Structure 1
Amino acid sequence: MRLLALTMRLRLRLTLLYSSVFAVSGAILLGITYLLVSHAAGVFYGTGQFGGPQQGDVSYNSDRLPSLPGIARELWAQGARQREGILHELLVQSGIALAIMGVFSVALGWFVAGRALRPMAAMAATVREISARNLHERLSVQTPHDELKDLADTVDGLLARLESAFDAQKHFVANAAHELRTPLTLERALLEETLTDGEATLASYRAMTERLLALSMDQGRRLEALLMLANSERGLDRQEHFDLAAVVRRVLHTSPSWIEAVLKSAPASGDPAQIERLVANLVDNAVYYNVPDGRVNVSTGVRDGRALLSISNTGPVIPQGEIQRLFAPFQRLRTERTTYDDGHHGLGLSIVQAIASAHNAVITAHAAPAGGLLVEIAFPLQGGCPPPRK
């Protein structure tokens, strides 16, 4: 509706512009014509067409009127009045013609503006019909490459991004519902089993309560991870300068001491709290998905003009095609250690990707042939992050 109103306002403005240009051009043309006719008539009536006392005169001199016959003076005065009448009639008739053409130019300008904006009207009608059920539709304006074509292509690009985001959101909601429904079903089964057990004892009730408490804590961690993912995808709340090496040191302070770290200064900008969560998730995944007596290496520094964070481990062999899947929500690497209540819900790497995207960082992940995963995240150097959202 707003696009239609914009189209009508633009058509009115174009009509006024066309009419104004025609009116100004017509007025200038009328002025030039009046000056030319006035000059030509002045030359004609100012010459000695009515004779004179001497044969060689070429122009009329009013000081010599008394020497002319009375009839010559009368003819000269009549010619001057006729000249003024002709000029007045020319001015009036030209003004009337200009006014008529001005009205006609308004109608013609409205028609021409409508023809020029017809693709925009079609775009407005198509946009009004697009909803969540048919986000796949596009404007597909087939016109020569001009400003309207650029606008249509921009809107098509916006619709494509909206369709992708909408599909991702639906997929995320479906996965979240499935993840949350499973523990609820298990809780209900435990309660029903205990209530229907006629020989239940205090010990069995206590064991059931402990399992329900563990499930509740697991759901709390899952919800916290979902909230963290949602907040990360919204962008930055604040932006300040920090050193990646200092952030990693804080995370490693509460991590296993056997992690090998080579930390060099890497100045960056953004939200240090989100970066700390990103590092913690990567370290936690590298430690958990590792082999016995394996290694975890963490390093920071500057490379190719960007602040670089690198984390690798010696975990199990990962097929190269599986790496991209691991960064999607609720996706986990299937190993013999992966259990339902292990505290890993498949959201760690998706949170990492959301935080990195909010900071304009580039993630690259490679699976080592002998096993394990190398994740490198390149951040813009200090001052290169987007401004925080309002």
Structure 2
Amino acid sequence: MFDHWIRSLSARLWLTSVAALAVCMTLLAAVVIYAFNHFPEQALGRHEQIERAEDVANGLNFDDAGRPVSVQPPQETAWLFEAVPTELKYRVLNEQGGVLFASGDAQDRSPWIAGDPFHAAGKVEQVAIGSKPFDVVTLRIPHGHDVFYAQTAMSARLVDAMIGAKVKQIPAIVRVTIFVATVIFGLTLTLTLHRVLKPLREASGAAALITPRNLTARLSPKGVPSELKPLLNAFNEALGRLENGFSVQQQFLASAAHELQTPLTLIRGQIELQPEIKHRELLFREVDLMARQVRQLLHLAEVSEPQNLSFGEVDSVDVAQDVVAYLSRKANRRQVKLQVQVPVAPASIWADRSALFILLKNIVENAINASPPNSVVSLIVDKASIQVQDQGPGISQDHLPFLFKRYWRAPDSSHEGAGLGLAICKEIATAHEWQLTVSSLISGTRFTVWI
């Protein structure tokens, strides 16, 4: 089961895609983790500092005259400025660099960055404030005809602490992200492959149903991926060639059988009209054997084509009795008794009467040939089956798989034949969608037609 699954196209596509995704995400995660571990300040610190400066700039309020009147950063940012005033500070400057507003620990008027704030706008500069290292971010705030500047100063110690806290979480977050993404991708890919390969499964199912009896069927390319259409077209063309070859073979078989019947009848008649011919009995025997084989070939050609059968309501007991009557003379010559048993009266069945007669005749005739003198061949007809049971020596287990093959005859067979009788029975059973089975008994053989 596992070996079948691992060799399937969908399994290979699934494994390849999931493995490719996992490898790509692992490589990407490795690059991200490497960047955070080796350049944490650039990766996280700068972003955090610029966000705080933007919060201050966005929190600057103006009156109707366009003058700044207050600063109200978002609550979570204002809390940071109040919680660690010695490590995180802000100022709002006018165009000349004068301090308009400042956080609690940044009220002194000394500039954090020397020179015109215009030149510091948009940059992150490392400076010393009160002998402690800080990273200062300056943002330009244009408002009407005036320009203001928002500055935030974050101590190097606070930057390191924030970066450390975030970097520590990154490996776990990356692992969870990779796992969740792989699971979701695997489930989604399973559904996608199931849908994408549905036309291929349908084509495979249709191909499995094609038998010599329906070679006219073709696989539909509708919905099949364009890469597989050449394969389906080639398969359909092969079916066309098989159909043509099978048709030619059946036509030849039927034509040959028809053409041989008349010459054989004439030959037998000529032998009967010339009593001076020596070994007439031997010639009659050979002609009759050839005629029997020709009839079997004709039957085989007829039952191999379903359109040659005429279905209707058939009384299986009546057909069984006809078979017994037809073969009674042969049974008498071999001192074999034929009997029909009907334990439970069956209902009529849907079948071709002539084909059912040929099927039972062939099996009963074989049973007569295999039965010793003073034995019985029974036809047992019930609601579910028709059984033919003899009291012969039985069939070797080694021979059972070959019984219904065309032209096969048991090596120890004592009666003459072409090996077509049971093959014809199998064709008839298949055409009727019946099952034909054989089993060896303690004494004899039982053939069962499950109807």
Establish whether TM, by shorter chain, passes 0.5: no
Q: Which has the higher strand share?
A: 2
Superposition TM-score, scaled by structure 2 size: 0.39
Q: Which has the higher helix share?
A: 1
Q: Whose radius of gyration is greater, 1 or 2? A: 2
